[in-house]
Amino acid sequence: MKRNEFLKLCGLLGISFPLQSVISSCSSSNTNSNNNPPESVIIIGAGPAGMAAGYLLAQQGINFQIIEANSSYGGRIKHNTAFSNFPISMGGEWIHVASSILPEIVNDASVTITTETQGYNNSDLVQEWDGNTITETTLGNIGGSQDLKFVGSSWLGFFETYVLPSIQNNIIYNTPITGIDYSSNDVIVTSSNGQTFTAEKVIVAVPVKILQNAVINFTPELPNNKQQAINNVEVWGGFKAFFKFTSKFYGAYLGLPDSETDQGQRIYYDAAYAQNTSDNILGLFSVGQQAEQYQNLSGNAQRDYILNELDTIFGNNIASNGYLDHIVQNWNAEPYAQAAYIRDQENWQLLRTLGQSVNNKLYFAGDAYTNGEDWSSVHTAVRSAKRAVEEMVS
């Protein structure tokens, strides 16, 4: 769930939350244009940012390779297609901006986009658990929601249809990058098994937690202010779960007393909202400290903890009696993510520093490497990719 939407929802539910620094007149980061489109580009990471960057380079006829650590593309927008008859988003799920982001990503007016999206209704049921009792209201009564759901698709499904066909032959999988040497004219990128790749410019599109944990060694070291920003941003962990039940005993959203704090967020929600399905699937979204209670458990203990929490809230053992199946996703345990995303209240100037290019050779794209106006979403990842490519070819 997007920062603004989440804060609005929680705030209107009476849950206190801090406001992120107000940002005014955030122009994009410094542009170190050398006025020469590069002859070759390596993109590290095939998440939304890496895929969007490759797609934009392909549109401009620039040679590129995407090097991905995992055996597949997608990163934190991966989905599960086995749990129900619609894709379940294990990471990025909602569209947090207008649906015009989809043609913005495709960047080609001749392409007709058929992906369906749906917003929420003001009459949708919202429940709030205060630790003792559950109360009900409507989404309209708490200010509504601007978020959109994909209908029968997902962020990953959208990328598979409109972006992947142009880039899939340029992706090299199962190749974790551990070194980037930008000390000479060309940039040399080294993988964990010693394989090297050379290009004129490199776009680093791996999660910031990967840089924070020094998975990639830079030669020379990154500029001090950049390394400081990498070290100092707080990246929240993340956990999602999806529970299938025999009946739908919940509304569109269920707020909890700690749905929004300085340390994290969590909320239950109707994951099958807007889908053409008979499955009743309740989603649990949690990041930061609120995710830890679930991440600290596994297997049946984790399942029973969540069912017990729901039984306590809804009463009559309704969750455990109606339980059919569940799936979980712990983002801290993913070796090439190691966390969810940067906390909502982070200092925007640190974010802006993260987004800056280095020596006209290293460019950064991803939900963390923005101009500081917005971060931690798919749309910010793709917009940062656009910014990086524009800067590189200008």
Ligand X SMILES: Cc1cc2nc3c(=O)[nH]c(=O)nc-3n(C[C@H](O)[C@H](O)[C@H](O)COP(=O)(O)OP(=O)(O)OC[C@H]3O[C@@H](n4cnc5c(N)ncnc54)[C@H](O)[C@@H]3O)c2cc1C
Residue 28 CA to residue 50 CA, distance in Å, equals: 19
Cβ–Cβ under 8 Å, residues 342 and 229: no
For ligand X, the binding residues in 237-276 under the rule CB under 6 A are 238, 240
Minimum Å gap between C-beta 349 and ligand X is 20
Tell me whether strands 88-89 and 235-236 are parallel, antiparallel or unpaired: unpaired
Closest to ligand X by CB, 263 vs 320, is 263
When asked if residue 91 is in the footprint of ligand X (CB under 6 A), the reply is yes
Closest to ligand X by CB, 269 vs 318, is 269
Closest to ligand X by CB, 270 vs 318, is 270
Minimum Å gap between C-beta 132 and ligand X is 28
Residue 233 CA to residue 284 CA, distance in Å, equals: 25
Minimum Å gap between C-beta 45 and ligand X is 3
Minimum Å gap between C-beta 126 and ligand X is 17
Minimum Å gap between C-beta 328 and ligand X is 11
Window 100-129: contact mask with ligand X (x via CB under 6 A): ------------------------------
When asked if residue 207 is in the footprint of ligand X (CB under 6 A), the reply is yes
Minimum Å gap between C-beta 335 and ligand X is 8
Closest to ligand X by CB, 119 vs 314, is 119
Minimum Å gap between C-beta 108 and ligand X is 21
Strand order of the β-sheet with 217-219 is 196-199, 187-191, 177-181, 217-219
Q: Work out which of 83, 94, 120, 250 binds ligand X, going by CB under 6 A.
A: 94
Closest to ligand X by CB, 192 vs 246, is 192
Closest to ligand X by CB, 38 vs 48, is 48
Closest to ligand X by CB, 216 vs 318, is 216
When asked if residue 87 is in the footprint of ligand X (CB under 6 A), the reply is no
For ligand X, the binding residues in 40-79 under the rule CB under 6 A are 44-50, 67-70, 75-77
Closest to ligand X by CB, 249 vs 336, is 336
Q: Work out which of 200, 344, 346, 367 binds ligand X, going by CB under 6 A.
A: 367
Q: Work out which of 13, 15, 210, 241 binds ligand X, going by CB under 6 A.
A: 210
3-state secondary structure the chain: CCHHHHHHHHHHCCCCCCCCCCCCCCCCCCCCCCCCCCCEEEEECCCHHHHHHHHHHHHCCCEEEEECCCCCCCHHHCEECCCCCCCEECCCCCECCCCCHHHHHHCCCCCCCCCCEEECCCCCEEEEECCCCEEEEECHHHCCCCCEEECCCCHHHHHHHHCHHHHHHHEECCCCEEEEECCCCCEEEEECCCCEEEECEEEECCCHHHHHCCCCEEECCCCHHHHHHHHHCCEECEEEEEEEECCCCCCCEEECCCCEECCEEEEEEECCCCCCCCCEEEEEEEEEHHHHHHHCCCHHHHHHHHHHHHHHHHCCCHHHHHEEEEEEEEHHHCCCCCCCEECCCCCHHHHHHHHCCECCCEEECCCCCCCCCCCCCHHHHHHHHHHHHHHHHC
Residue 106 CA to residue 114 CA, distance in Å, equals: 12
Closest to ligand X by CB, 177 vs 319, is 177
Window 335-364: contact mask with ligand X (x via CB under 6 A): -xx--xx-----------------------
Closest chain position to ligand X (CB): 47
Q: Work out which of 101, 177, 187, 222 binds ligand X, going by CB under 6 A.
A: 177
Separation of first and last alpha carbons in the chain: 34
Closest to ligand X by CB, 77 vs 254, is 77
When asked if residue 205 is in the footprint of ligand X (CB under 6 A), the reply is yes
Q: How many residues bind ligand X (CB under 6 A)?
A: 43
Token pair recorded at residue 333: 């345990």
Token pair recorded at residue 357: 């290019």
Please report, as ranges, the residues that interact with ligand X according to CB under 6 A: 1-2, 44-50, 67-70, 75-77, 91-94, 96, 176-177, 205-207, 210, 215-216, 238, 240, 331, 336-337, 340-341, 366-367, 376-379, 381
